[in-house]
């Protein structure tokens, strides 16, 4: 299916990436990719094992003359974000990703590509499979469930790794070296509702479509639309002008993705239907204008649908609309020390209807632990105002930058030697497994880099092909000179 990839360079990297795309690997459902990795390592007679949670480690001895070099761990995660366009018929549990090349980028047909972090895995496998790459002893760590909870890194045993140098291959900007990341914590609210018999009237489905979505950390400051926020804003405004009954409201999917689509079904009196349609159409124009530079495909759609039999009770409807308007989304504060660096943010990730509850998921990130907790508390305060049940996840720590890192110095010198220019050294607002790994392995010297990806965590995800070779050359040179 993905034969086109095998003609790309570096050849071995893209051959393995093509194989990875054939294997379903949703978060928490990594059995097939685990089996692939175990068979792959054992077939090549490399030391290969999995731990209790499913993380796989494959070790390869040093090449001749490099035995005295320190152990280095190449780390990537197995799972991928499973997002698709609403009109795409696709089963992430069974189907293979359909990749294609366009204008120098590798993309997928209507789904996430899974280069986050499939391309990191492919690079690690290509190194393990080589017989002409100079390196010391290496071990490749492939973790499970990075995207929905970092549980693979969290469950990693403190004695699983021999290395005290780690290169994380899960960054998305070639030419940039990452030495720190934000910590994160999720907040979940459950707002109970009563079902009532639907009133007489006309039912309409109002949808927000065509948003880019994107990574709730790395893309949170790019002015993208949150479909949950847009849809609720429309409903809240209509609610001020006329009475309607809310039958459903659902939007967004994953905690670490900005909501791309959302929809609601409402019932309105026949006499108000024309005015409501006019308001929605006006909002479509307004929203498209507001997001004209960042969301060219964003739109609001209204269509008549069969009348549902039940609606949400009036009190909960009012509470929900006020809550979704009040709860924050986006950048909460910028760093005072690092120019143009997001310090703290929150993402109104999803609104779902489950067991007579609106289940509202948010995710908070910050490079400062106290600010992360404050962001969670702020959301909890909003939720408590309407009597919602609130719970917080355990969260994960950030990764404090170490500008004196030895592996950073090696990577900087390597980049300058190879490409004649300095790399950008910075921290990232997204979460990386380095925070959890560094907490278990005190003194672990870590760095993160990778080829250029855009639109991750959405069906717009794409990989810039030319940057894979640059990243490949850089990785090999770092391994040689560490």
Catalytic site positions: 79, 146
- Is 77:152 a contact under the CB 8 Å cutoff? yes
User: How many other CB atoms are found less than 10 A from the CB of residue 341?
Assistant: 17
Phi, psi of 323 (to 5 degrees): -65, -50
- Answer whether 308's CB lies under 8 Å from 203's CB: yes
Chain mean position to CA 373? 21
User: What whole-number distance in Å separates Cα of residue 289 and Cα of residue 398?
Assistant: 37
CB 47 within 8 A of CB 100: no
Q: How many CA atoms lie within 13 A of 104 on its CB side?
A: 8
In the DSSP assignment, the letter for residue 16 is H
Q: Can you tell me which residue has the tokens 């995710």? A: 363
> For residues 82 and 26, what is the distance between their CA atoms, to the nearest angstrom?
6
What single string gives the DSSP state of each residue in 368-383? Answer: SHHHHHHHHHHHHHHH
Q: Are 365 and 344 in contact (CB under 8 A)?
A: yes
Cis peptide upstream of residue 33 (ω within 30 degrees of 0): no
């Amino acid at each position: 299916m993905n034969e086109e990839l095998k003609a790309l360079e570096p050849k071995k990297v893209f051959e393995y990436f093509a194989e990875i795309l054939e294997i379903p690997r949703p978060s928490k459902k990594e059995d097939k990719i685990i089996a692939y990795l175990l068979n792959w390592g054992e077939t090549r007679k490399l030391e290969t094992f999995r731990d209790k949670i499913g993380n796989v480690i494959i070790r390869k001895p040093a090449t001749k003359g490099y035995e005295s070099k320190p152990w280095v761990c190449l780390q990537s995660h197995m799972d991928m974000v499973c997002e698709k366009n609403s009109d795409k018929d696709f089963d992430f549990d069974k189907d293979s990703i359909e990749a294609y090349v366009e204008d120098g980028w590798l993309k997928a047909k209507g789904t996430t590509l899974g280069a986050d972090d499939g391309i990191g895995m492919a690079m690690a496998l290509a190194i393990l499979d080589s017989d002409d790459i100079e390196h010391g002893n290496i071990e490749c760590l492939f973790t499970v469930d990075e995207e929905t909870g970092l549980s693979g890194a969290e469950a990693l045993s403190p004695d699983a790794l021999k290395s005290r140098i780690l290169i994380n291959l899960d960054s998305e900007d070639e030419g940039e070296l990452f030495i720190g990341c934000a910590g994160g914590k999720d907040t979940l609210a459950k707002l109970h509702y009563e079902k009532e018999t639907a009133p007489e009237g006309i039912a309409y489905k109002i949808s927000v479509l065509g948003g880019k979505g994107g990574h709730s950390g790395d893309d949170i400051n790019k002015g993208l639309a949150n479909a949950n926020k847009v849809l609720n804003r429309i409903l809240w405004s209509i609610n001020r002008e006329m009475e309607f009954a809310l039958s459903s409201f659902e939007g967004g999917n994953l905690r670490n993705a900005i909501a791309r689509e959302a929809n609601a079904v409402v019932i309105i009196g026949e006499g108000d239907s024309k005015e409501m349609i006019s308001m929605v159409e006006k909002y479509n124009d307004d929203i498209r204008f507001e997001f004209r530079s960042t969301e060219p495909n964003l739109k609001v759609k209204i269509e008549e649908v069969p009348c549902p039999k039940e609606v949400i009770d009036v009190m909960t409807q009012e509470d929900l609309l006020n809550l979704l308007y009040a709860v924050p989304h986006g950048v909460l504060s910028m760093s005072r020390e690092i120019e143009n660096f997001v310090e703290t943010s929150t993402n109104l990730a999803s609104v779902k209807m489950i067991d007579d509850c609106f289940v509202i998921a948010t995710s908070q990130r910050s490079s400062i632990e106290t600010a992360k907790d404050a962001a969670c508390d702020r959301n909890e305060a909003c939720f408590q105002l309407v009597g919602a049940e609130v719970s917080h996840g355990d969260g994960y720590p950030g990764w404090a930058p170490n500008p004196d890192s030895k592996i950073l110095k090696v990577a900087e010198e390597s980049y300058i030697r190879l490409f004649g220019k300095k790399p950008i050294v910075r921290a990232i607002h997204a979460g990386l497994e380095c925070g959890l790994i560094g907490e278990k392995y005190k003194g672990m010297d870590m760095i993160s880099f990778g080829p250029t990806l855009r639109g991750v965590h959405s069906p717009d995800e794409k990989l810039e092909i030319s940057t894979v070779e640059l990243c490949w050359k850089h990785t090999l040179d770092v391994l040689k000179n560490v």
